[in-house]
Each structure stands twice: as C-alpha cells, then as structure tokens.
A = this chain, B = another copy of it.
Amino acid sequence: MVEGFTDLGFARVDTDRRKRCGFPEVIFGFGKTPEQVAAIARVILKKDPVLLVSRATPAQYEAVLTAFHEARWHEQARCITVERPALPKLNGTIAVVCAGTSDLPVAEEAAVSLELFGNEVDRIVDVGVAGIHRLIAVKEQIEAANVVIVVAGMEGALPSAVAGLVSKPVIAVPTSIGYGASFGGVAALLGMLNSCGSGVTVVNIDNGFGAAYAASQINRLAQPPTPAT
C-alpha cells in the first residue's frame, strides 16, 4: 500500500482508485477553484482515460478545456467530461426513470455519468404516480434494463411503484424539487427510505452521480463472462 496518490498540496489525488474500485477518482467540483480542478484533472488523465467533474461550473469547464480540448460541458447535468478514449461499452441498458419534468437536471447528472462509465442509458421521463397509467405503459421497457434509477421529488413515491412492477434493482434518487414541507428534498428522501417496495436503495438528495456509480458497479457484475479469457 505504498503511495498510490499524488500530492498537489491542496489535494492528494487517489491515482490508485481505478485499480481498487473499478473507476478513476471523480472530481466533486463544488468549492474548488478552476485552477484546482484543472490541476487535479491533469493528474487523473495522466493515468486514466476518462474524467468526470460533477457539480461543476462553466469557469471550471473553461479551465479544463484549456488543458484538454476533448472536454465537454453538460449544461443541464452541470458536469464536465473527458473521454480519450472512451471506456469500453457494457452490454445491457440502465433505465433512468424520472417522476417529473422538473427532476430532469438530476436525471441528466445520472445519465451523463452512466454513459461516461460505459453504460447504455434508457431515459424515461415524467411517469409520476398521479397518472399511474403512464408508468404501467412503460413497465416492460423498465424490466428490460439491468438496473433502474428512479429520480423523484415532492413525496418521492415513484420508486415504490416501480419496485412493485419489476424484478430489477431499483436505486432511488430524491430531488430537492418541491416547496414548503418538502424541506429541500427531505420528504422525498424519507419516502424512499420507508418504501414499501422491497429492495429500494437510496442515495443522497440530488445525487444523480452516486446512483450512476452504484448502477455501473451492478451492471458490470451483470456482464456475461468474456469467452475464452
């Protein structure tokens, strides 16, 4: 366990992460200067082929773009990605199911992260429980995925309904969409933690990235063994 990191003074970049955990370190953009983000990005991309900056700002994007012309800015998802080359594509899809239009930014953070990690994404938008026929209409489409990410704000009831309809692992992402007694996503979070739908697991409020990371880990497990290897 000697070393395995690069000390930049303001950051100790975990260059050993991909070997241990399967994916390189991801930069949490919040509260970092553009210069810090770019410097960390350089260390990561020296060893690993892809980069993800979550909760990023346009200024951080500019700094990364200067260093890496392949950098892309995902407006709605507030993410920076670099792929050179892309990770190998995995079999099967991951469904990202979204309760309402207002939940889209969090769903996009999940989708962008999933695609960077090599997954194919099936986006299904606006199937909240107040019009349950919309959800039932896509039941087979969801069942066809290997993993299901369900993004919902307000009362966060959608994961319970989805978990009761399909046999695949459901990862629930509460969003801060709502007002008053939604308490910035707490109502949705509690709803999901208390889900009567068996097997729902939950990540932090607005944490599309975290759900994507877990779903990618699961999807890798679901890959057929590579023949003759």
Distance between Cα atoms of A133 and B3 in the complex (Å): 7
Task: Give the distance to chain B from A173, nearest Cβ to Cβ, in Å.
Answer: 10
Which one of A59-67, A82-90, A189-197 is at the interface? A189-197
Chain B residues closer than 8 Å to A189, beta-carbon distance: 180-181, 193
Distance between Cα atoms of A160 and B189 in the complex (Å): 16
Contact A130 B197 (CB under 8 A): yes
Given A99-B196, A190-B187, A196-B100, the answer on whether A134 and B14 have CB atoms closer than 8 Å is yes
Distance between Cα atoms of A178 and B167 in the complex (Å): 24
Contact A10 B101 (CB under 8 A): yes
Chain B residues closer than 8 Å to A4, beta-carbon distance: 131, 133-134
Task: Give the distance to chain B from A85, nearest Cβ to Cβ, in Å.
Answer: 21
Contact with A129, one of B5, B127, B160 (Cβ below 8 angstroms): B160
Contact A188 B199 (CB under 8 A): no
Residue on B with the closest CB to A17? B131
Distance between Cα atoms of A183 and B183 in the complex (Å): 10
Sample of 16 A–B contacts (CB below 8 Å):
A1-B133, A3-B133, A5-B133, A5-B137, A10-B126, A11-B126, A12-B127, A28-B100, A31-B101, A132-B165, A155-B191, A179-B206, A179-B207, A183-B190, A190-B191, A198-B209
- Chain A residues near B (Cβ < 8 Å): 1-5, 9-12, 14, 16-17, 20-23, 25-26, 28, 30-32, 36, 40, 55, 99-102, 104, 125-134, 136-137, 146-147, 154-157, 160-161, 163-171, 174, 176-207, 209-211, 213-214, 216-218, 221-222, 224-225
- Which 9 pairs from chain A and chain B are nearest by CB? A180-B205, A157-B157, A31-B102, A201-B201, A187-B190, A130-B164, A22-B167, A14-B131, A199-B213
